[in-house]
Structure 1
């Protein structure tokens, strides 16, 4: 693996233009092929307090010195896009589907921390609907790794019914929700402005329809963040959260959040459903040994 040090965050606008221009040239890859071995590293990453405050408002977090569990995903996202627009990356960026996400926190990150973030690729491997791969991110403070993330993406291709399915998080039945949230039609544009994720399916009904959606859809990582905001003040110090993204959340809409705790368990389950009972997201939150009780 080769390591490339970046002194500033990649500019997402030019990267998206590059992704659109090179999409026809990207041939894809099989599950037997290795992905590029580049790792991008950015050190001395400060936390922008105004940006953090806007992220907190959009995702439902309160104002605290502790960073939301999902926030390092935002600061590392430009590095991930840089990886997925490099010349030797085989898949077109537009059209990739974010199917799952896993975050492990060893200790809380604070707004006063200066971060070092490392991003690399892993995989690919078969998926029933194509090929999936991971973007792996490590965030460090003071020379120690305190936060890791695996974002799993799907490149749609030939169906492979023998491939293992992603779904391994227990389903929660719809009904009797813990909370109901009303989502505005401009949520995708608002989250795109703070996250940098300007996939056209999130921005305008016309561009969403061009990709087969009846309306704009919410970002999966907004859904994950909004669910975790419901646990604010109750998250263990050291924890792992796994989420799987199922049906997209159309905007505007109303969604139902449900959380469950198994008796004598260090694990909580949660889900996001439509009011018609369709599952948008399923997740689990696990207290790691070094953490406090949830």
Structure 2
């Protein structure tokens, strides 16, 4: 077998290896909980595009789902990291070519009656924000590749960069990605509007992605994109991600001017939490967030700037 000739099948003694690793890395209780649960796995594609770093050349990412009784699932959840470590070692990545990405847990004892809806608007908003943060993390990872990829530069079209994001979201498991969907109403109020990327999962909208290419603070152009994404496209109050592809010699100065513009933008919706810069994830990415209210329904909005020059 060559250096990168992988089998892409689970090792023959996979389960036994997991149990042995759990006994060494943790304890018998965790190993027994693993044995009591059923599991299945999904190949989600090349590890690189699934967001896994390190030694990932030509390797593929797996997502595992465990299903079992409440007491066993609780044990696995509490030891999530040790379980992932054991599975990762048992996969024999150098032979199988598989790497573990995520683990999801299902308690078979839970009925639909046990799954409570949010008890308040604040609780619902917190759930939506957590979901939006997961999308944001994936967006930032994709954005990193856009920033260092020489194929994306001042000459790249806005649509070509949008297409790349759409494809990478799909590779990350967003199975219902719609590009340029007829959704909402246009700026004229007469026709259906076109969303750059609409992200949905399990039949629910979880993100509206609006991309725009900028080399300066073009106020009218920026305002049109903001207005379209939070009002024309967004009848449901879906978490919104407004992404600027920036070609500027001084990226930090651009971000300061861009932030100042948004701070003074006359939003057509009520502002619940004002524009607030977040920690820079890297030198070529800037992020800020705010919370808007549409007809009494609060939703998060994220502003992301990516340096492509």
TM range (shorter): under 0.3
Normalising by structure 2, report the TM-score. Answer: 0.25
Normalising by structure 1, report the TM-score. Answer: 0.26
Q: Bigger radius of gyration, 1 or 2?
A: 2
